[in-house]
Structure 1
Amino acid sequence: MQNLEQVVHHVVLAGGWQNLNLWHPPGAQQNQDTVTANQPNDHPSISEQLKLERRKELSCPYKRFIEKGDLEDDSLFIDTAAVEEMTQVVGGLKENGGFLGNLTEWLNSSIPGSPASLNDGLKENTANVRLAKAKLIDFKHISEQFQKLSKCLEVTCAVAERRLCATQLRIGFASLPNELLTNILSLAIPSEEPDPTESRVSDGVSFRKSFWSAVTFSHVCDRFRRVALSSPKLWNKISDDMSQEEVKACLLRSGRIPLDICLASFPDVNKYPNFYLTGYFADFVLKSFDRWKRLEITTSPYRKRHLFTRRVGIKIGHLSKLEHSSSSLDGHFSVHTHAFPTSRKP
């Protein structure tokens, strides 16, 4: 009963329940995930974009329910003129120990016509009818406000249930060792996916989505960030549709482990011009080529894979796998895979 009074009182102060999400029962704390501040190694747009989305969600916990149509726009406000009478109802319940049946006394004292009397004249009966109609309208209006409040509390329960589930999941994750958590994150991140800009037969590969999946995991909480940034296998895939900042982040976070490289548009530098800028591309190759483990090149039928080595001026003997894909004009798709023996230490 005390919490119910506080809810109604907060509605009075807020001028409607649009700010009711700021109210919490005594002893309860709002559960908010901590978004780690932007680190020096992050691309500013990566961190800021994620923090902005999280900030929007925290500013209105009911947003996702409102978008689903559970709440209509007009239900975001309670008529402040009816709040005083709502407070009287709650106060009456408190005085009577919460027994709803005692509302009958309050009803009889508020609405004329009970008990019915046939001794009143026309004037008195007409006045009673008008008063009864007005009271009925008032009670319906109060009832509508309580229904809105009830709907708001239902949504609050849904949010509380969602947060409870999230808290229970955190207990499970907290008990996992970092090595196992790393494996789970690795399985959750897509290793490769077809390039959406490529035709149906070219089967180009883009690692950009896997990069952003790893970034998203690194912004879940402090522990996920530590695990993600200390797991180089989450960052060792680079494709030519990635921006220079994304490639830089992958090279830095992958440490010294071997890299998987996909050049879906080489040597058509017009498709991803920023990646194939003369100075940048040459610098990227020279600094990272000794770490390349797998190289996939997708070209037209008139382009040969030796154009890559001729243009860049490097040898590919240290690769464990070289895959060259090309598609002809009639839709025929061919893949040439070359596996290179790896040196083994005795």
Structure 2
Amino acid sequence: MLRVEYREGLYLPDIDLWLDADGPRDRCVISHAHSDHIAEHRAIVSTPETARIFQHRRGEAEIETLRYFERRDYGRYALTLIPAGHCLGSAMILVEADGERLVYTGDFKLRPNVVAETAVIVPCDTLVTESTFGEPLYRFPPDVVTAERLYAAVDRALSDDRVPVVLAYALGKSQEALELLLRRGYRVALHGSVWNVTEIYRELGVEFSGAYEKYDRERLKGRVLITPPGCRKQPMVQNIERRYIIMLTGWALSKSAPYMYKDVDLVLPLSDHADFDDLVRLARESGAGRIITMHGAPKFAAHLRDMGFVAEHLAHHPGSTKGAKKQAPKKASNAIAQTLFD
């Protein structure tokens, strides 16, 4: 079987292949363009959508694109990118080498995503999976239920002459929140970073259910503002005298949520990651004989072993922080950093 190592990025030494490396590499396959999965590589392989967002965030690189389900042979191995459902262009990476099929999930979501391709499960021998929400506590309600709670909160805030401020990171969840709000006819203003990524979504063919505006502090009345979580302590949000802050994060189900988000009015469990049940579903439906977990809860591998799977947690290279970013926050002071990537 292919050896799998974590050396400041996922590395397959038998075929000299890097996946989602933390630091610059001569060549790296990237699953999606969130900042904790990309670096200033000399050359990348990704979907066309991820490549476009990578260019926006990291600048120029030598780019090779693969469309979903397009199999490309590199001699020692072949690559196929499979929809992951996490954000626009996100992909699970299927590596075929020496008769083995290995799937690296990157970040994924099996539930339908209103502005991204729905994830597809493919059979494999080895599954290397994220485990961000790999504890039984994290079983998300249906997104439609969470959306209705969002609408009710926005309605209450607007009727009370307050500005609803929705906290969601700039790539992926902001566009999902935007589409949900536009479907109900709300007027929505976007923080500059959210606006920029949303315009790229439109450039790439995503059709939203209405018009939206770029943030203008003089034109917030009657509008919902979508902004990254890190902005909630900045003047842009703090200077809104009558505000109602809504955080969208899977960590809403954490027992520590009331303390982590004590400066937020409402925390809703809208996530673009798989919850515990979907992590288990992927393990089961992939048919993998070997499962390697990473990027999250080390105990998830133990849960899988209890269910009869052959599973282990991949230890991170000493000094690497990538895996830590995906573990449940333990202190309120960590809340902003954690919600950048959930």
Q: TM-score, normalised by structure 1?
A: 0.25
Larger Rg: 1
Higher fraction of strand: 2
With CA pairs under 8 Å and 6+ residues apart, which has the higher RCO, 1 or 2?
A: 2
Structure ranking higher in helix proportion: 1
TM-score (norm. length: structure 2)? 0.26
